[in-house]
Structure 1
Amino acid sequence: MISNAAPGEVSEIIAGHRALAVLRILIGEDCHGSSNDGALADVLDAFGLGCARATLRQCLSHLEHSGLLTLATVDSIVVVRLTRNGAEVAEGKATAEGVRPFVAGGPY
Protein backbone atom coordinates (compact mmCIF):
# COMPACT_ATOMS: atom_id res chain seq x y z
CA MET A 1 0.00 0.00 0.00
CA ILE A 2 1.19 3.50 -0.76
CA SER A 3 1.72 5.11 2.61
CA ASN A 4 1.20 8.74 1.59
CA ALA A 5 -1.98 8.16 -0.44
CA ALA A 6 -5.44 8.66 1.03
CA PRO A 7 -7.64 5.53 0.95
CA GLY A 8 -9.75 6.63 -2.04
CA GLU A 9 -6.92 8.41 -3.82
CA VAL A 10 -5.42 5.33 -5.47
CA SER A 11 -8.78 4.23 -6.88
CA GLU A 12 -9.41 7.77 -8.18
CA ILE A 13 -6.02 7.82 -9.90
CA ILE A 14 -6.68 4.45 -11.53
CA ALA A 15 -10.17 5.58 -12.59
CA GLY A 16 -8.66 8.66 -14.26
CA HIS A 17 -6.15 6.51 -16.13
CA ARG A 18 -8.92 4.11 -17.15
CA ALA A 19 -11.08 6.97 -18.48
CA LEU A 20 -8.19 8.37 -20.54
CA ALA A 21 -7.33 4.91 -21.83
CA VAL A 22 -10.92 4.38 -23.02
CA LEU A 23 -10.82 7.67 -24.95
CA ARG A 24 -7.38 6.89 -26.41
CA ILE A 25 -8.52 3.40 -27.46
CA LEU A 26 -11.55 4.86 -29.22
CA ILE A 27 -9.54 7.51 -31.07
CA GLY A 28 -7.04 4.91 -32.28
CA GLU A 29 -6.99 3.79 -35.88
CA ASP A 30 -8.18 0.28 -34.95
CA CYS A 31 -11.48 1.57 -33.52
CA HIS A 32 -12.27 4.56 -35.76
CA GLY A 33 -14.19 6.18 -32.90
CA SER A 34 -16.38 3.27 -31.79
CA SER A 35 -16.21 -0.06 -30.00
CA ASN A 36 -18.18 -2.09 -27.46
CA ASP A 37 -17.77 -2.65 -23.76
CA GLY A 38 -16.49 -6.21 -24.18
CA ALA A 39 -13.67 -5.20 -26.52
CA LEU A 40 -12.80 -2.22 -24.32
CA ALA A 41 -12.66 -4.51 -21.28
CA ASP A 42 -10.17 -6.79 -23.06
CA VAL A 43 -7.91 -3.90 -24.10
CA LEU A 44 -8.05 -2.36 -20.63
CA ASP A 45 -6.99 -5.74 -19.20
CA ALA A 46 -3.99 -5.71 -21.57
CA PHE A 47 -3.09 -2.21 -20.31
CA GLY A 48 -3.23 -3.36 -16.69
CA LEU A 49 -6.41 -1.35 -16.08
CA GLY A 50 -8.86 -4.23 -16.00
CA CYS A 51 -11.92 -4.01 -13.81
CA ALA A 52 -15.32 -5.55 -13.22
CA ARG A 53 -17.80 -4.98 -16.05
CA ALA A 54 -19.97 -2.90 -13.69
CA THR A 55 -16.99 -0.63 -12.95
CA LEU A 56 -16.29 -0.22 -16.67
CA ARG A 57 -19.92 0.66 -17.32
CA GLN A 58 -19.78 3.26 -14.52
CA CYS A 59 -16.71 4.76 -16.22
CA LEU A 60 -18.49 4.79 -19.58
CA SER A 61 -21.57 6.36 -18.01
CA HIS A 62 -19.42 9.11 -16.45
CA LEU A 63 -17.79 9.79 -19.83
CA GLU A 64 -21.20 9.92 -21.51
CA HIS A 65 -22.52 12.30 -18.84
CA SER A 66 -19.46 14.49 -19.49
CA GLY A 67 -20.28 14.59 -23.21
CA LEU A 68 -17.16 12.67 -24.21
CA LEU A 69 -18.89 9.65 -25.73
CA THR A 70 -22.31 8.22 -26.46
CA LEU A 71 -23.66 4.84 -25.40
CA ALA A 72 -26.25 2.64 -27.07
CA THR A 73 -27.30 -0.78 -25.81
CA VAL A 74 -27.90 -3.51 -28.39
CA ASP A 75 -29.15 -6.65 -26.68
CA SER A 76 -26.67 -6.91 -23.78
CA ILE A 77 -23.79 -5.16 -25.57
CA VAL A 78 -22.98 -1.51 -24.91
CA VAL A 79 -21.85 0.24 -28.10
CA VAL A 80 -19.53 3.16 -27.37
CA ARG A 81 -18.95 6.09 -29.75
CA LEU A 82 -16.48 8.91 -29.25
CA THR A 83 -17.81 12.49 -29.53
CA ARG A 84 -15.88 15.48 -30.83
CA ASN A 85 -15.35 16.63 -27.22
CA GLY A 86 -14.08 13.17 -26.32
CA ALA A 87 -11.62 13.28 -29.21
CA GLU A 88 -10.34 16.65 -28.01
CA VAL A 89 -9.73 15.27 -24.52
CA ALA A 90 -8.08 12.14 -25.96
CA GLU A 91 -5.74 14.32 -28.03
CA GLY A 92 -4.88 16.62 -25.12
CA LYS A 93 -6.62 19.65 -26.66
CA ALA A 94 -9.07 19.81 -23.75
CA THR A 95 -9.43 18.39 -20.25
CA ALA A 96 -12.35 16.80 -18.43
CA GLU A 97 -13.08 16.09 -14.79
CA GLY A 98 -12.28 12.52 -13.83
CA VAL A 99 -10.05 11.95 -16.87
CA ARG A 100 -6.28 11.95 -16.54
CA PRO A 101 -4.86 14.63 -18.83
CA PHE A 102 -3.22 13.29 -21.98
CA VAL A 103 0.56 13.55 -22.07
CA ALA A 104 2.42 13.05 -25.35
CA GLY A 105 4.53 9.92 -25.08
CA GLY A 106 2.30 8.62 -22.28
CA PRO A 107 1.29 5.00 -21.91
CA TYR A 108 -1.95 5.19 -23.94
Structure 2
Amino acid sequence: MAGVQGTVLVAGVTYKYAELSFGKNRGIMMSAEQGATGNVAYQFNPNPHNADSKWYNKHQEAFYQQAATAIAQQTIVNNGNATYPAFGTQIDVHGVEYDLNER
Protein backbone atom coordinates (compact mmCIF):
# COMPACT_ATOMS: atom_id res chain seq x y z
CA MET A 1 0.00 0.00 0.00
CA ALA A 2 1.35 3.42 -0.96
CA GLY A 3 1.75 6.02 1.73
CA VAL A 4 0.07 9.40 1.86
CA GLN A 5 1.09 11.81 -0.87
CA GLY A 6 -0.11 15.05 -2.38
CA THR A 7 0.78 18.59 -3.34
CA VAL A 8 0.64 22.01 -1.70
CA LEU A 9 0.98 25.46 -3.24
CA VAL A 10 2.85 28.05 -1.16
CA ALA A 11 4.07 31.44 -2.43
CA GLY A 12 3.63 30.42 -6.06
CA VAL A 13 5.62 27.18 -5.74
CA THR A 14 4.03 23.75 -6.02
CA TYR A 15 5.56 21.15 -3.71
CA LYS A 16 4.96 17.43 -3.93
CA TYR A 17 5.10 15.52 -0.64
CA ALA A 18 5.01 11.88 0.39
CA GLU A 19 4.98 9.95 3.65
CA LEU A 20 8.22 8.14 4.49
CA SER A 21 8.45 5.13 6.77
CA PHE A 22 11.49 4.56 9.00
CA GLY A 23 10.56 1.35 10.76
CA LYS A 24 7.94 2.41 13.31
CA ASN A 25 8.62 6.13 12.86
CA ARG A 26 7.52 8.41 10.04
CA GLY A 27 8.91 11.22 7.95
CA ILE A 28 8.18 13.25 4.87
CA MET A 29 9.77 13.78 1.47
CA MET A 30 9.32 17.18 -0.16
CA SER A 31 10.09 18.11 -3.76
CA ALA A 32 9.59 21.48 -5.42
CA GLU A 33 7.75 20.64 -8.64
CA GLN A 34 6.79 23.95 -10.22
CA GLY A 35 8.27 27.40 -9.61
CA ALA A 36 11.46 26.03 -8.03
CA THR A 37 13.63 22.93 -7.81
CA GLY A 38 15.05 20.96 -4.91
CA ASN A 39 14.05 18.19 -2.55
CA VAL A 40 14.56 17.04 1.01
CA ALA A 41 13.60 14.19 3.35
CA TYR A 42 12.95 14.54 7.08
CA GLN A 43 12.23 12.16 9.93
CA PHE A 44 9.73 13.42 12.53
CA ASN A 45 10.62 13.58 16.21
CA PRO A 46 8.59 12.66 18.15
CA ASN A 47 7.01 9.81 16.24
CA PRO A 48 3.52 11.02 15.22
CA HIS A 49 2.14 7.56 16.06
CA ASN A 50 3.09 8.24 19.69
CA ALA A 51 2.82 12.03 20.00
CA ASP A 52 -0.75 12.44 18.74
CA SER A 53 -1.86 8.90 18.01
CA LYS A 54 -5.62 9.31 18.35
CA TRP A 55 -5.68 12.15 15.82
CA TYR A 56 -2.77 11.04 13.60
CA ASN A 57 -4.04 7.51 13.07
CA LYS A 58 -7.41 8.78 11.80
CA HIS A 59 -6.16 11.88 9.94
CA GLN A 60 -2.90 10.92 8.22
CA GLU A 61 -3.77 12.78 5.02
CA ALA A 62 -4.42 15.99 6.98
CA PHE A 63 -1.24 15.47 9.04
CA TYR A 64 1.00 15.27 5.96
CA GLN A 65 -0.73 18.16 4.23
CA GLN A 66 -0.28 20.35 7.33
CA ALA A 67 3.35 19.24 7.73
CA ALA A 68 4.12 19.90 4.05
CA THR A 69 2.51 23.33 4.24
CA ALA A 70 4.49 24.23 7.37
CA ILE A 71 7.74 23.11 5.73
CA ALA A 72 6.97 24.96 2.49
CA GLN A 73 6.20 28.15 4.43
CA GLN A 74 9.72 28.02 5.92
CA THR A 75 11.39 27.20 2.60
CA ILE A 76 13.36 30.00 0.94
CA VAL A 77 13.24 30.15 -2.84
CA ASN A 78 16.02 32.11 -4.54
CA ASN A 79 16.62 32.07 -8.30
CA GLY A 80 14.41 29.02 -8.65
CA ASN A 81 16.23 26.97 -6.00
CA ALA A 82 14.36 25.82 -2.91
CA THR A 83 16.34 25.87 0.35
CA TYR A 84 14.38 23.83 2.85
CA PRO A 85 14.43 24.35 6.63
CA ALA A 86 17.56 23.04 8.33
CA PHE A 87 17.53 19.73 10.17
CA GLY A 88 16.37 20.36 13.73
CA THR A 89 13.81 22.99 12.69
CA GLN A 90 10.45 22.66 14.42
CA ILE A 91 7.03 22.70 12.85
CA ASP A 92 3.59 22.55 14.47
CA VAL A 93 1.07 19.99 13.27
CA HIS A 94 -2.25 19.79 15.09
CA GLY A 95 -0.80 21.50 18.16
CA VAL A 96 2.24 19.22 18.47
CA GLU A 97 5.80 20.44 17.87
CA TYR A 98 7.84 18.14 15.63
CA ASP A 99 11.57 18.38 14.94
CA LEU A 100 12.54 17.85 11.32
CA ASN A 101 15.47 15.50 11.70
CA GLU A 102 17.88 13.89 9.30
CA ARG A 103 17.32 10.19 8.90
TM-score by length of 2: 0.29
Higher RCO, Cα 8 Å, sep 6+: 1
> Of Structure 1 and Structure 2, which has the larger fraction of its residues in helix?
1
Which structure has the larger Rg over C-alpha atoms? Answer: 1
> Of Structure 1 and Structure 2, which has the larger fraction of its residues in strand?
2
